[in-house]
Structure 1
Amino acid sequence: MSQRRSFLLLTTLATALLAACSGPIPILEPAATKAVAAPASPARPKLVVFIVIDGLPMRQVLENREQFSPDGFRRFLDRGATFMDAHYAHAHTVTAAGHSVMMTGAYPQRTGIISNEWVDPETRKPVYNTQDTDYHYIGNKTGPMAGTSPRMLQAETVGDVLRTADPLSKVLGISGKDRGAILPAGHKGTAYMYMSSTGQFASSTYYMPQHPQWVEAFNAAKPADALFGQTWAPLLPDKCDDGSTRRQPVAGGPIYACDAYARSAADGQPFQSAEGSVNGNRLPAVLGQQLSGPGPDFYKLILPTPYGDQLTLAFARAAVEGEGLGQDDHPDILSVSLSSHDYINHAFGPESKLSHDHMLRLDRDLQAFFQYLDQRLGAGNYMAMLTADHGFADTPEWAKSLGRDAKRFGSKALVAHANVGLSMRFGEGKWVTETSAMGLLFDEKLIAQRGLKPDQVYLAARDIMLMHPEVEAVFTPDQLRSNDERTPYLAQMRKSWHPERAAPVQVIMKEGRLFSTRTSGSSHGTPYAYDHHVPILAWGPAWVGQGAVNRWVEVADIAPTLAGILKVGVPRQAQGKPLPLPR
């Protein structure tokens, strides 16, 4: 493709994005999928499209099903394979850990990606999951702990196996977050991530010395700037004919036709974050309404809105065109991790009207993307799979309003409790220095100075922590190295624990506890169902069949499944097994 043609193509994509943002998002009918006649199914797909919705619990897919468009999520739900009981089996359910599991089939105990960030037990320095100071972003500023390479990932991905077997295959990872792009792309793929300071998508020098022309053309068209002043308004009616709203305080209550958001928490609640964003916590919200124009302060506001996903999918389209994905007999993998839902759920909670509306807009965006792929590649030439990196807890205040036991709880209180108890047992001292991921780090020099053995102090800390009213379980290194499969939560925590990177004593809070010092919004990271029950949805009739599967499956099963479909070996560290596809 000539540079002129590439630039014109990407300018058209940017213009289409602006048009989509300027008015109602069109709902394309399923008939559009027939734009290109599907050829006879190949032995393996020419392109695997792997979609990750950051921070999407399965319950949000199911409760919004009747409001979805015909060909977004319902392409999977109505005409694909739906795994109703899909889960993560590790305890610390956060973004980086989840993204490391998907395409490796291995849990953090093997991948080494135990959290988004942690404290090195030896050096006591902070560590970011994809940091690598040997490399920098191309054409963009690189922070001291920026994600620039997969060096921290200690396992191979399906894409790594594919490219080892066939170097002409291409593997791309695209995301609003560096970890969402880098970890699924693996060691031999190429990652592109959103730059919140410039509104561009960029790769790093780990992958290439400079961007290909199609990336330069996309960024030159400045599609992020076109979003300035766009209004995020409710997609569906949110008021009755008399101007009133009718809401049900109990989740799952009836949905009135005049208020499509009746089951969700109204916006503008005090427990919904309005800090650090001019978008506020109410709809409609105007992007950049208090700013003079596009710039760094504006670009960072895009991801916590539906327009972050639209921008990411526009870049994914550019990648399909620019890299010629799915155009030959060397199968490719395109991983697209959409980050906006996570930001929205963190700020407003998954029960919120804003999260509800984002689900509906995301659904329309997926529909448009899939129908584009149908026209570009032919519906019989590619398959799609969708999952999430973790689920989400409801905001504690909302949960309490429904009669559930929930509260916020900070890590400093845990450290203080541990030190009071250990000081009473072994003498005054700051025995526990800090928390790291879900664990407690100790002053190992103090332990040695007092003539104590580490395991002796760890065991005492476990007993002390178990006396805390907000703590559910505590595990020592001996337990984590054991073969005990009966103690509740131990198997999950064992899968999260890497002996060289994780803290020695691991703590699990009681269900419904939000481990955060924030006074608004919600989070995740626990071994409870609301955090580990996520969607696994697949579409591609020739490869995955159609129907609902009600058996327990795990996200770690995705990698062996895709390896089988692509007819390559399973990643060496994989712990999952092939999904029971409804052929």
Structure 2
Amino acid sequence: MKNIIFYFLTTVLFFSNCTNKKKIAQKPTLVIGIVIDQMRYDYLTRFSERYSENGFNRILEDGFSLENAHYNYIPTYTAVGHTSIFTGTTPSNHGIISNYWYDKYSKQNIYCVDDTSYKTVGNNGTVGAKSPKKMLTTTISDELHLAQNMRGKTIGISIKDRAAILPVGHTANAAYWYDAGDKNQWITSSYYMQKLPKWVQEFNTKNKANSYLNDTWNTLYDIKTYTQSRSDNNVFERNLKGQEKPTFPKDLKKLRKNNGNFDLIKTVPAGNTFTVDFAKAVIKGENLGKSEFTDFLTISFSSTDYIGHKYGVAAVETEDSYLRLDQDLADLFSFLDAEVGKGKYTLFLTADHAAVHVPSYLQSLKIPAHYIDNNKLENYITNITQKYFKSKDLVANISNYQIFLDKEKIESLGLDQNTVAQKLADEVMNFDNVYKAVTAKTLQTTHFTSGIMNALQNGYNQKFSGDVLIVPYPATLTGGKRGTSHGSGYSYDTHVPVIFYGNGIKKGRSSKKYDIIDIAPTISNLLRIEAPNGTSGAVIEEVLEK
């Protein structure tokens, strides 16, 4: 009898162990990281009743949505957002402090992915001279490559170069972006390869962008049904060149000549459709999700950002672009089901930043909103240095709401750098619509645990950032009074959707506060690999099946 019981228990334990091992062994064959440039969280809720069942609503219903996810740093720009999502950390660690910034060592303005060590692959132009080398940490896909001994493929795509390059890291097999203008080609850099794959060349010959731009952009539905938006004709939106008013319909064939020819596809919803077309070509051309190793694909939709900048948060154009993007996503998800297999892939969807309502529109509603004139601010700062230190040459650069001091000039005049910086911080507070100002020394010696100063500190990089950092009032932009932008640490710029879906993901939603830098360690945990080497985020346990 004892032998029978022993045999029974041994058998149960054996099969139980086998089952557990089988469950643990299930990994997605493909991970897709989707970034929708400039998507506010409330675009999920404002337009929810108009979305189909197969796009946003599919992953909301069958995935896990974080309803209170935010960026935890300043500045909320495209390059910084894409880098932070996939590295799991902030500019204080990964080193991408803006799209463009003043380099205090070379004393010139630089672009986040420019690299003259490399050349364009795909045509004879110069826009392919790029690499991820300014990013100082690894990404999820770098760690996936390391964990799989460089097996499995990692690829990034976007109309924007920085949105294709930075998410997919240093070890990527490829990053592809769109060279518009008169080129009309998806290209890459010699950092990745010396020749475009045959499938990319074939995609380029299909000339899909041309067919999209020979069409008319009209609203997907009757314009009278766009009740979540302002009236179509208003003074808060920018025009396309050649349009007297920013209204529908938009004759793209007629307008493309004065709007950079193929550049126009960036500023219409067809740019997102075009991106899905290329994403499907990537998946088929590279056989993603078909091997024993996990592949990683990053897709960034850029047209939503261009449209948002031109027309604003409450525009019919913005609403229409998201209704059309919903259809594009449904098409992509259906393709993944058929090509990779339902249940075999994992994806997450988020945004690189959000955006503020057009400040002049807010002003028309008596909501506090402001504009800062950069030239006036620069003159004001020059007058401060002249008044207190008898010199107009103490500042090397002012950009991204940061003041870079000319330390050589300060030293030559026998002045103390910290004294100059503190005086500038104290006095610039008196400039209209400046809310806060702080020195680099303060950020290095004081730990801010919450609020806007914590966000500023997370975005401050001791090696690359300026000597005085400025924070404007909420709902404040520079430039003209039409269209909108982003970059602040206020909730309208930081609150974005985060949705996980597919293999290894629970169904549900959470209103708990999470940071965008939590995505990378969460996906790394799902894949059972090391998190990126600069990660400061945490695993979101409630989204994962265990």
Same fold (TM over 0.5): yes
C-alpha distance 286-140 of structure 1, shift in aligned 2 (>3 A): same
Question: Aligned residue for 2:300?
Answer: 337
For the 8 Å contact 1:111–1:155, the answer to whether it is kept is yes
Q: Does 1:429 align with 2:377?
A: no
**How do 1:462-541 residues align onto structure 2 when only pairs under 5 Å count?**
462-485=425-448, 488-514=451-477, 516-540=478-502
Instruction: Give the deviation of 1:276 after TM superposition.
Output: 4.2
1:410 alignment counterpart: 373
Shift of 1:399: 1.2
Structure 1 stretches of 4+ moved >3 Å: 39-42, 275-280
CA separation of 1:359/1:74 partners in 2, compared to 1, >3 Å: closer, same or farther? same
| Separation of aligned partners in 1, 2:192 and 2:68 | 37
2:240–2:259 CA contact under 8 A, matched in 1 = no
Task: Output the TM-score relative to the length of structure 2.
Answer: 0.91
* Residue correspondences, number: 520
Which of 149, 174, 189 does residue 204 from structure 1 map onto? 189
> Does the aligned pair in 1 maintain the 2:359–2:481 contact within 8 Å?
no
Deviation at 1:360, TM superposition (A): 0.5
SS in 1 for 2:542: coil
- Aligned match of 2:31: 48
Q: Following the alignment from structure 2 to structure 1, what is the Cα–Cα distance between the partners of residues 187 and 243?
A: 26
Judge conservation of contact 1:91–1:527 (CA < 8 Å) in 2: yes
Which one-letter code corresponds to 1:552 in the other structure? K
Q: Quick check: 2:178–2:185 contact (8 Å CA) kept in 1?
A: yes
2:354 maps to 391
Structure 2: state its 5+ residue gaps: 1-21
Q: Tell me what 1:11 maps to.
A: none
2:159–2:302: 8 Å Cα contact kept in structure 1?
yes
The letter of the residue matching 2:135 is L
The 3-state SS of whatever aligns with 2:110 is strand
Q: State which of 200, 214, 217 in structure 2 corresponds to 1:215.
A: 200
* Contact 1:140/1:195, CA 8 A, preserved across alignment: no
1:90-139 deviation line (CA, Å, top 9, x unaligned): 11000000011011101111111000001111322111000100112212
1:163 to 107, 120, 145: 145
- Inter-partner Cα distance in structure 2 for 1:102 and 1:263: 29
Q: Which of the numbers 92, 106, 111 marks the counterpart of 1:123?
A: 106
Q: Structure 1 regions of 5+ residues with no counterpart?
A: 1-38, 240-258
Deviates more, 1:188-197 or 1:333-342: 188-197
TM-superposed CA distance for 1:387, in Å, is 0.5
The alpha carbon displacement at 1:280 in A equals: 6.3
| Structure 1 residue 277: Cα displacement | 6.6
C-alpha change, 1:451 and 1:146, in structure 2 (3 Å) is farther
User: What SS is found at the alignment partner of 1:191?
Assistant: strand
For 1:187 and 1:473, locate their aligned partners in 2 and report how far apart those are by CA, in whole Å.
36
Query: Distance in 1 between the 2:303 and 2:72 partners?
Result: 24
Residue deviations 1:348-374, cap 9 Å, x none?
A: 001111101111100111011101111
Does 2:504 align with 1:543? yes
SS at match of 2:120: coil
For 1:341 and 1:298, locate their aligned partners in 2 and report how far apart those are by CA, in whole Å: 19
2:425 corresponds to 1:443? no
Partners of 1:406 and 1:374 lie apart in 2 by: 46
Offset, 1:477: 1.4
1:192 aligned residue: 176
**Residue of structure 2 equivalent to 1:150:** 132
Distance 1:125 1:422 in 2: 22
Corresponding letter in the other structure for 1:193? W
CA contact (8 A) 1:51 1:384 kept: yes
What SS does the corresponding residue of 2:266 show, helix, strand or coil? coil
Seen in structure 2, the aligned counterparts of structure 1 residues 284 and 41 have a Cα distance that, compared at 3 Å, is farther
CA offset at residue 200 of structure 1? Answer: 1.4
Contact 2:28–2:345 (CA under 8 A) maintained in structure 1: yes
TM-score normalized by the length of structure 1: 0.86
Distance 1:126 1:277, change over 3 A: farther
Which residue does the alignment assign to 1:286?
Answer: 251
Map residues 47-66 of structure 1 onto 2, 5 A cutoff. Answer: 47-66=30-49
Distance 1:265 1:308, change over 3 A: same
Question: Against the structure 1 CA distance between its residues 279 and 123, is the aligned structure 2 distance closer, same or farther, given a 3 Å change threshold?
Answer: farther
Q: For the Cα contact (< 8 Å) 2:87–2:138, is it kept in 1?
A: yes
Residue 253 of structure 1 aligns with which residue? none
**Partner Cα separation in structure 2 for residue 344 and residue 413 of structure 1:** 29
Residue pairs, 1:73-88, within 5 angstroms: 73-88=56-71
Q: Could you tell me how far apart the structure 1 residues matched to 2:78 and 2:123 are?
A: 23
Select 1:236's aligned residue among 209, 221, 237. Answer: 221
2: CA distance, partners of 1:393 / 1:311:
27
1:227-277 deviation line (CA, Å, top 9, x unaligned): 2321111112223xxxxxxxxxxxxxxxxxxx2x12311223222111547
Q: For residues 387 and 92 of structure 2, what CA distance do their matches in structure 1 show?
A: 34
> Which residue is equivalent to 1:71?
54
1:10 maps to: none
Contact 1:81 1:539 in 2 (8 A): yes
Aligned residue type for 1:162 = L
Cα distance in 2 between the residues matched to 1:204 and 1:313: 21
- Whether the 8 Å contact between 1:176 and 1:338 is mirrored in structure 2 is yes
**2: CA distance between counterparts of 1:442 and 1:472?**
21
CA distance in 2, matches of 1:354, 1:290: 16
CA contact (8 A) 2:452 2:490 kept: no
Residues 343/580 of structure 1: CA separation in 2 closer, same or farther (3 Å cut): same
Give 1 or 2 for the bigger CA radius of gyration: 2
Q: Any conservation in 1 of the 2:213–2:256 contact (CA below 8 Å)?
A: no
Amino acid corresponding to residue 251 of structure 2 in structure 1:
V
- The corresponding residue for 2:271 is 308
1:114 and 1:437 in contact (8 A); partners too:
no
Percent identity over paired residues: 31
Q: Secondary structure at the match of 1:337?
A: strand
* C-alpha distance 115-521 of structure 1, shift in aligned 2 (>3 A): same
- The 1:124–1:396 alpha-carbon spacing in structure 2 relative to 1, beyond 3 Å, is same
Does the 8 Å CA contact 2:370/2:473 hold for their aligned counterparts? no
Contact 2:518 2:538 in 1 (8 A): yes
Q: Does 1:400 align with 2:363?
A: yes
